[in-house]
Amino acid sequence: MLHILRRDPGRKRKVLIVEDSEINIHYLTVIVGREYDVICAANGQEALDALRMQPGNVSLILLDLIMPVMDGYEFMNEFHAHPEEYGIAPVIVLTADREAEVESLRRGAADFIPKPLDYPEVILARIERSIALEEDSRLVRNNERDPLTLLYSRNFFMEYVRQFDLTDPEVPMDAAVIVLNRFYMLMDIYGRQFIRKVLKAISDELHRILPETGGLACRSDPGCFLMYLPHREDYDDICSRLAAIIRDVTGNTRVNIHMGIYQNVLKSLDAEQRYERASLLCYDNKNSYKTSCYYYSDEVHDKEIFNERLIMMMDTAIREKQFVVYYQPKYVIQGKRPKLHSAEALVRWVHPDMGLISPGIFIPLFEENGLVYRLDRYVWSEAARQVRLWHDKFQKKIPVSVNVSRTDIYAPELENELSDLLTLHSLDYDDLLLEITESAYTDDSAQIIETAKKLRDKGFKIEMDDFGTGYSSLSMLTSLPIDALKLDMSFVRKMLDSPRELKLIRLILDIARFLNIPAIAEGVEKEEQCNLLKEMGCDLIQGYYFSKPVPPEDFEKLIQKELEAA
């Protein structure tokens, strides 16, 4: 027997009365019907049938315990076991038996209404309170977890981390971050469904890992997960496990993750700060195609702070002329004696407190932060001024090569800026040579080729720096607008010990000959290296064997010496 007694088209909530006594049904329907839509069922089975027809539509169930066909206990077992089928709603048990209350609670009842039935106001108040409680906790439930991965959402996770610490303050804990590399690029290329599949695979694996490790996890940003685990050492294994799963579900080796781990977190740091530390290195190389694990350490922290300081100090440093340009000579070695030919301008940072800082430290940092262009412009201008000065002082042309950073090539007015500099100092195009590292060509060949062409159309000469590290293809090389090849130092460093390296040098010198451009070897420290390179047909040499990079005053001594030898 299932009667729908009232249906209000308004936004009334629905209450299901499960009761076999006609008198009680009537009484309850009248009272409850004042505030709610009412559905009635004569036993547990009818109630389940009614709920199955509209899961989630019922806000509360009033349940008698003793009924034919299916009693109240059995109903509660079935109802609570299958929320996906019947929905979730608080159950208020109607009973005259105090002992039944305990058993009902065990089976998930939210409250009781004693029989014989009480004042209408009391009944309505109990119903209202139970519905309000359930709706509040549903709100929490819905926001607590990320619907796709069923992991905690970030805010709840952070709160649970705090609670975890309060309950177990002595347990050493680790904070771990998992980042899906190139997230938005993958989304663009493979689409949303693909990304969801990958994220689901990661989270499924996290659901498997958590029972083994203890701790908790959440989905933080769209492509990022956080874990808070009792301290352990096997993160490399966890990382490989995740990588393997991703490979399995995608069949694609270009989809990968970075994992950042901050072990034995300082509990005095707040949760957010711990994850900042864990992710510090995680976002480095985020465009990489490799899965890697990064561990936070005090050194990493200090380095990060140091880098931050360098970035902050850059403006002042330029203003106060703390950047000093050194010059390292390049010598022509073919011929009777080596002759001073040109120089490379190499910047140094002479910091008032920190002393001399090597460009190997700050240049990559400034490249990353888009600051390098300003510094390079300063160096170019210093170098141009210096070339003019030497020209006037010694009546001798000493061309100087300047480094053009991989990010400078995106500056829209690069060629004009550089040629203005020449005009300003009355220099020719072959007075200021441009070194561009080979890897810039392979990183973004379209842009670099366009920029290099523009520069050469103006008249500039371009030297390809660090050649042999960037994997240019032979066919690419022949079409590249370049005027000289600079062998990467690593070849020269190993040439005396490794026949393979020697062979590679020979090969590169052949390529230069084929392209009909001079080859320059740098990092030459020994006479033996110099002689061998000369024998193999290398044109120019730069290295400690002749001179380290030196300040302009010292470089003048080299010019003087050259003039005297000539």
Instruction: Catalogue the active-site residues.
Output: 522
Burial (Cβ within 10 Å: 0-12, 13-18, ≥19) of residue 140? exposed
Rounded-to-integer distance, Cα 179 and Cα 174, Å = 16
Rounded-to-integer distance, Cα 89 and Cα 319, Å = 70
Contacts of ligand C2E in 123-162 (CB under 6 A): none
- The percent of the chain in helix, strand and coil, each rounded to the nearest 5, is 50, 20, 30
By CB under 6 A, name the one of 161, 175, 347, 452 that touches ligand C2E: 347
- Supply the DSSP symbol for 4: B
Do 307 and 333 meet the contact criterion of CB atoms below 8 Å apart? no
Rounded-to-integer distance, Cα 458 and Cα 322, Å = 32
| Stretch binding Ca ion (CB under 5 A), from 164-172, 239-247, 359-367, 457-465 | 457-465
| Stretch binding Ca ion (CB under 5 A), from 5-13, 26-34, 460-468, 533-541 | 460-468
Contacts of ligand C2E in 441-480 (CB under 6 A): 465-466
Rounded-to-integer distance, Cα 262 and Cα 161, Å = 14
- Distance in Å, CB of 276 to Ca ion, minimum: 35
Binding mask 486-515 for ligand C2E (x = CB under 6 A): ---x--------------------------
463 belongs to the binding site for Ca ion (CB under 5 A): no
- Distance in Å, CB of 261 to ligand C2E, minimum: 31
544 belongs to the binding site for ligand C2E (CB under 6 A): yes
- Distance in Å, CB of 437 to Ca ion, minimum: 7
- Distance in Å, CB of 493 to ligand C2E, minimum: 7
522 belongs to the binding site for ligand C2E (CB under 6 A): yes
- Distance in Å, CB of 524 to ligand C2E, minimum: 6
410 belongs to the binding site for ligand C2E (CB under 6 A): no
Instruction: Order the strands of the 60-64 sheet from edge to edge.
Output: 37-41, 14-18, 60-64, 91-95, 111-114
Rounded-to-integer distance, Cα 157 and Cα 169, Å = 17
- Supply the DSSP symbol for 410: G
- Distance in Å, CB of 344 to Ca ion, minimum: 6
Rounded-to-integer distance, Cα 463 and Cα 460, Å = 10
Contacts of Ca ion in 464-503 (CB under 5 A): 465-466
Contacts of Ca ion in 435-454 (CB under 5 A): 435
By CB under 6 A, name the one of 44, 223, 549, 552 that touches ligand C2E: 549
381 belongs to the binding site for ligand C2E (CB under 6 A): no
The 10 Å Cβ neighbour count of residue 306 is 14
Rounded-to-integer distance, Cα 222 and Cα 199, Å = 9
Q: Which residues of this chain interact with ligand C2E, rule CB under 6 A?
A: 328, 346-347, 358-360, 363, 372, 376, 379, 403, 405, 465-466, 489, 522-525, 542-544, 549
Q: Which residues bind Ca ion (CB under 5 A)?
A: 403, 435, 465-466
